[in-house]
């Protein structure tokens, strides 16, 4: 028997979750039966969308059940195999995060070819966050020559990639993030043209107007709320908004107030389009090809913020909402 520690959701939080909403449990794993593999996780991802899964409400992914291990993107190593398709030492990606180890049918994990990248990049820049930035900018916002691009949550996993793709395509980019360290990262490492430390400006709409005196063509929205209002107020006619996420609303204990400047969508002929990345898997190979080409010429940079040990996973998750991460928030498990 092998033991594995795992994190379970104990309560459905109302408003901002706390450490008390999670519990740490230990389970024993038997030898994998025929067709199964045993995997020891090395890395797991914590992601803002998981907050929605803590509510017992309809969503595009089902709610987490109480009292069982939570799920999420993870990368691990096969330690025992009872299936021909995988052997010990193979790296695999699965949705069995929030635990140290697990048994699963071999066809429920995906063998990972890292193409020379560190494995954890497939939870960030080369994984869902990077792919989300790619789809949102190039296909949802339909980036066009000369566009001025505004990105919120710019120092995070999705936002940092959105900034870089827009710069690679030759655009003027304005990046909003919370705090001096994050805006310096956006400017110095991601190469954006202007930054806004939204936590220190008295008026976000005025700050954006100063950074983009002629207005913005594209808004990549990771945040919603006040950022979306500021972008609407500063949009040029025929502006295009990729609504990727609205993290400022995820912990609202009651219905969020709503968007104040939505009338601009009418008067300026704007297009606002939301998207969920799971609906765009057909673009995955194009993303992999472009990313490989950009990476080969040293054009993609990434950072990660790492917590250690499964017992730290709730803290890492909560840190997404207080902005503790620069780049991708990860938990190293072994
Ligand atoms: N549509 C899709 O398919 C899809 C896929 C993946 C992710 N997403 C969305 O993309 C967004 C970014 O996700 P990520 O994984 O890259 O996370 P992330 O940006 O790496 O981490 C979250 C960041 O959000 C910022 N934040 C937290 N609360 C905020 C608030 N009230 N107002 C403004 N900023 C706040 C914090 O940065 P600061 O310190 O700068 O505040 C924090 O570091 C999220 O909205 C997520 O739900 C959507």
Q: Is the CB of 325 under 6 A from ligand 1?
A: yes
Pocket test for ligand 1, best of 137, 151, 153 (most atoms within 8 A of CB): 153
DSSP strand pairing (2-9 vs 22-29): antiparallel
Q: Is the CB of 53 under 6 A from ligand 1?
A: no
The answer to whether residues 156 and 134 touch, using CB atoms and an 8 Å cutoff, is: no
* Predicted local distance difference test score (pLDDT) of residue 119: 98
Residue nearest (by alpha carbon) to ligand 1 atom 36: 323
Residue 294 domain-assigned (yes or no): no
Domain total of the chain: 2
Instruction: Give the domain range for residue 217.
Output: 128-278
Question: Residue 66 — very low, low, confident or very high, per pLDDT cuts 50/70/90?
Answer: very high
Residue nearest (by alpha carbon) to ligand 1 atom 11: 222
Q: What would the 3-class secondary structure string for the chain be?
A: CEEEEEEEECCCCCCCCCHHHEEEEEEEECCCCCCEEEEEEEEEECCCCHHHHCCCCCCCCCCCCECCECCECEEEEEEEECCCCCCCCCEEEECECCECEEEEEHHHCEECCCCCCCHHHHHCCCCHHHHHHHHHHHHHCCCCCCCEEEECCCCEHHHHHHHHHHHHCCCEEEEEECCHHHHHHHHHHCCCCEEEECCCCCCHHHHHHHHCCCCEEEEEECCCHHHHHHHHHCEEEEEEEEECCCHHHCCCCCCCCCCCCCHHHHHCCCEEEECCHHHHHHHHHHHHHHHHHHHHCCCCCCCEEEEECHHHHHHHHHHHHHCCCCEEEEEECC
Q: Is the CB of 177 under 6 A from ligand 1?
A: yes
Residue 292 domain-assigned (yes or no): no
118 and 136 in one domain? Answer: no
Centroid of chain to Cα 46: 8
Which whole number is the average pLDDT over 64-75?
Answer: 98
Residue 291 domain-assigned (yes or no): no
Q: Is the CB of 129 under 6 A from ligand 1?
A: yes
**CATH code of 102's domain:** 3.90.180.10
Tell me the percentage of the chain whose pLDDT exceeds 90: 98
Could you tell me the distance, in angstroms and rounded to a whole number, from the CA of residue 154 to the centre of ligand 1? 9
Residue 200 domain-assigned (yes or no): yes
Residue nearest (by alpha carbon) to ligand 1 atom 28: 321
Q: Is the CB of 72 under 6 A from ligand 1?
A: no
Pocket test for ligand 1, best of 16, 139, 242, 245 (most atoms within 8 A of CB): 245
Pocket test for ligand 1, best of 45, 47, 48, 50 (most atoms within 8 A of CB): 48
212 and 182 in one domain? Answer: yes
* Predicted local distance difference test score (pLDDT) of residue 256: 81
**CATH code of 271's domain:** 3.40.50.720
139 and 107 in one domain? Answer: no
pTM above 0.95, yes or no: yes
Question: Which tens digits make up the pLDDT trace of 248-289?
Answer: 999 999 888 789 999 999 999 999 999 999 999 999 999 999
* Predicted local distance difference test score (pLDDT) of residue 185: 98
Q: Is the CB of 210 under 6 A from ligand 1?
A: no
Q: What is the dihedral of CA 37, 43, 47, 53, to 10 degrees?
A: 30
135 and 89 in one domain? Answer: no
* Predicted local distance difference test score (pLDDT) of residue 258: 87
184 and 218 in one domain? Answer: yes
Question: Which tens digits make up the pLDDT trace of 136-194?
Answer: 999 999 999 999 999 999 999 999 999 999 999 999 999 999 999 999 999 999 999 99
Residue nearest (by alpha carbon) to ligand 1 atom 6: 129
Q: Is the CB of 16 under 6 A from ligand 1?
A: no
Could you tell me the distance, in angstroms and rounded to a whole number, from the CA of residue 39 to the centre of ligand 1? 29
* Average pLDDT taken over every residue of the chain: 97
Question: Which tens digits make up the pLDDT trace of 223-258?
Answer: 999 999 999 999 999 999 999 999 999 999 988 878
119 and 31 in one domain? Answer: yes
Rounded Cα–Cα distance for residues 9 and 249 (Å): 21
pLDDT higher than threshold 90 for residue 72? yes
240 and 166 in one domain? Answer: yes
């Amino acid at each position: 028997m092998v033991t594995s520690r795992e994190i379970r959701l104990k309560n459905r939080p109302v408003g901002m979750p706390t450490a008390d909403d999670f519990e740490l449990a230990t389970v024993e794993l038997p030898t994998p039966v025929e067709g199964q593999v045993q995997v020891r996780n090395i890395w797991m991802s914590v992601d803002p969308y998981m907050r929605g899964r803590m509510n017992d409400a309809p969503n595009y992914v089902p709610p987490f059940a109480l009292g069982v291990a939570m799920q999420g993107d993870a990368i691990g190593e096969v330690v025992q195999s009872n299936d021909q398709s995988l052997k010990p030492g193979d790296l695999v990606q699965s949705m069995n995060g929030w635990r140290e180890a697990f048994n699963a049918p071999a066809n429920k994990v995906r063998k990972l070819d890292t193409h020379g990248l560190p494995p954890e990049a497939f939870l960030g820049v080369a994984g869902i966050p990077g792919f989300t930035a790619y789809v949102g900018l190039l296909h949802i916002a339909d980036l066009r020559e000369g566009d001025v691009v505004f990105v919120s949550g710019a120092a995070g996993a999705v936002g940092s990639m959105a900034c870089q793709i827009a710069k690679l395509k030759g655009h003027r980019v304005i990046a909003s993030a919370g705090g001096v360290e994050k805006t310096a990262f956006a400017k110095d490492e991601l190469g954006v043209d202007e930054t806004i430390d939204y936590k220190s400006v008295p008026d976000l709409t005025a700050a954006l107007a100063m950074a983009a005196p002629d207005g913005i063509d594209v808004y990549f929205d990771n945040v919603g709320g006040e950022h979306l209002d500021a972008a609407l107020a500063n949009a040029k006619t025929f502006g295009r908004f990729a609504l990727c996420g609205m993290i400022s609303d995820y912990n609202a204990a009651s219905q969020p107030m709503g968007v104040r400047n939505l009338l601009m969508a009418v008067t300026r002929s704007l297009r606002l389009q939301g998207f969920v990345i799971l609906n765009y898997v057909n673009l995955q190979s194009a993303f992999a090809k472009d990313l490989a080409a950009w990476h080969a010429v040293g054009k993609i940079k990434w950072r990660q913020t790492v917590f250690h040990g499964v017992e730290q996973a709730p803290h890492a998750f909560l840190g997404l909402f207080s902005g503790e991460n620069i780049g991708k928030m990860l938990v190293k498990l072994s």
